[in-house]
Homo-oligomer: A and B are copies of this chain.
Amino acid sequence: MTVRFGLLGAGRIGKVHAKAVASNPNAKLVAVADAFDKAAQDLAKSYGAQVRTIDDIEEAKDIDAVVICTPTDTHADLIERFARAGKAIFCEKPIDLDARRVRECLKVVEDTGATLMVGFNRRFDPHFAAVRKAVDDGAVGAVEMVTIVSRDPGAPPVDYIKRSGGIFRDMTIHDFDMARFLLGEEPVSVSAHAAVLVDKAIGEAGDYDSVSVILQTKSGKQAIISNSRRATYGYDQRIEVHGSKGMVAAENQRPVSIEIANADGYTRPPLHDFFMTRYTEAYANEIASFIEAMTKGKKAEPSGADGLAALLLADAAVQSVKEGKAIKI
């Protein structure tokens, strides 16, 4: 079976998903929609797809699934529309920045029985997936403590920050999902600290750029998250799972693996400087997983519920910083 796709949104992340769909032997990119006609035209042309309006895609008989890459504030509405239209839905995270709106939306998804997958791409990174597999295979015994370091090469523009929902809902949310993915048990308590150390303008926009979080599950398992909007040495993405029998860790990735030694020491090149090069394989694997879910009747994961769970942890982190206490979930 070939899954026929409509792509909503032809921006940066839309292009990534278009390529992933086009390269997949079980998928076909049929149509692209974007408010900017030229963006839609260019992308459609690259992959032999048509440009259509969102309305047309909604009603199209020749489209089985949509990939939603439009601005965040349109996600929930589009999910509801396409769920009702009987399409399978892959939506970039987040569903919405407001947990109540997410719950309403997921109700529609549930009522319609639609397939919904949320874009937490890191689960599909080969290295992180291998960590999860090692855990599942019992390599570390019972999971006890998870450590996640996640630092961006640089802060996004303040305009983006303002619309982002704040660092916990925009950036840490990936780590909340990864912590849930690896802990194997839901966090019930969240303590967070946050500060502005990188750029005052971020603070003036009401956000933080440097945060630390502890999650704890009912049985006492703990996850620690360290985030910064600054890492001069590249996109720093490490996870480590410590258990009763040992530890498994995923190392950082670099585009080139050479080392130069001289009188100053041994130097390896910086890490990837951009999430799209760091997570190229993850994005391809993610769409492949969505397609596999549709064609083989597997559950599409991460689900809408996963999206909600990560958002609730982000909300709790915001509250923890504000109130100076651990927040119960």
Q: Which A residues have a C-beta under 8 Å from some C-beta of B? A: 126-127, 130-131, 134, 139-140, 142, 144-145, 147, 149, 151, 189, 191, 193-198, 210-214, 216, 219-222, 224, 226, 228, 230-233, 236, 242, 244-251, 253, 255-270, 324-326
Contacts and interface: CB of A to CB of B under 8 A. Distances in A.
B260 A270 contact: no
Given A144-B210, A193-B222, 16 more contacts: A127-B258, A134-B258, A140-B262, A151-B242, A189-B193, A191-B214, A197-B221, A214-B214, A224-B224, A233-B247, A233-B263, A248-B260, A250-B257, A263-B270, A266-B268, A266-B269
A288 to B, nearest CB: 16
A199 to B, nearest CB: 10
Contacts of A270: 261, 263-266
9 closest pairs, A vs B, by CB? Answer: A195-B220, A246-B262, A325-B325, A233-B261, A191-B191, A324-B326, A130-B256, A247-B261, A267-B267
A262 B324 contact: no
- Of the listed residues A147, A226, A251, A265, the one surrounded by the most CB atoms of chain B closer than 10 A to its CB is A265
B258 A249 contact: yes
A171 to B, nearest CB: 14
Contact of A247 (B142, B213, B260): B260
Nearest to A147: B226
Nearest to A142: B197
A258 B269 contact: no
A176 B194 CA distance: 19
B247 A222 contact: no
B257 A233 contact: no
21 contacts: A130-B269, A194-B220, A195-B216, A195-B221, A212-B224, A226-B242, A231-B242, A232-B261, A232-B262, A232-B263, A233-B246, A233-B261, A245-B263, A246-B260, A247-B261, A247-B262, A248-B259, A253-B257, A265-B268, A266-B269, A324-B325
Contacts of A230: 144, 244
- Of the listed residues A191, A247, A266, the one surrounded by the most CB atoms of chain B closer than 10 A to its CB is A266
Contacts of A262: 139-140, 232-233, 245-247
Contacts of A151: 242
Contact of A222 (B126, B212, B258, B264): B212
Nearest to A23: B23
